[in-house]
Structure 1
Amino acid sequence: MVKENSNKTANIESIKVQEFDLNEIDLIKKFKGKPLLIIIYNNQCLGCTGRAIPLAYQYQQEYDNLQVIGIHTNFGTNQVTENDIKSIFTKDEIPFPIYLDSGHKVYDQFNSEGTPQWILITSEGVLYRSIFGSQTGSQNRLMYALEDLCS
């Protein structure tokens, strides 16, 4: 849930996703007090798996205080498994926390334009930026936003 405050910034009250065992968790509560870089993506999106996921991993390595989180959004009725998610990585391990967005609720919550959609949230839980895409222009906007957020 997103709520606008008096300063015209959006406080993020909750981001509810599912773990692979389908237990629901709230990312705002789980990662309270940390700036978040969330990538909303889909395994079938080549821009996501070829450019965005590696970029998210790179940012995880560069920014010690930043929590990178992947959210696989599902537009169909097929259940996505942990093995499905692992299949896009060269190693059989997930490099940062990845959760499931069944019924694309989080995708809709942030009015995503497509995948990948980058969501940056301050350590105070305020929506800082939302950036769509994985190509050079989007990567540059994301880089500048992260430098500002994490400085």
Structure 2
Amino acid sequence: MLALGCDHGGFPLMAEVIKYLEDNKIPYKNFGTFSEESVDYPEFGKLVAHAVADGECEQGILICGTGIGISIAANKVKGIRAALCGDVFSAKATREHNDANILALGARVTGAGLALEIVKAFLETPFSNDERHIRRIKQIED
């Protein structure tokens, strides 16, 4: 199950992501926001991050205007490796090398078509389980 969260700036792109998930029968839990009314992104970054860190959801997707603020907020939660991705290569690399468990997107900097390709790459790419990547993730956690 995926945890979803966005602020008002990310709301229109999140609607596109939800349509993609539903079309592909990918289960999700939406932690909001549910409109374009102004809200504070740290609240939603925290909700999704805790859902992933606590095991309620396996992975998450967060969206704000740039993806920067909401990813910073999510990364404050122990066990979270949120990666802001603006291209498909980065989405694949962060899964393979960093075992990122949350994808962050910037709705004002990434168009819907590219964003959905990034989501697909993030969700379909497994962690490599290579010893060097495991070692580096451990260093990040420490």
Q: Tell me the TM-score normalised to structure 2 length.
A: 0.32
Higher relative contact order (CA 8 A, sep 6+): 1
Q: Which structure has greater strand proportion?
A: 1
Q: Which structure has greater helix proportion?
A: 2
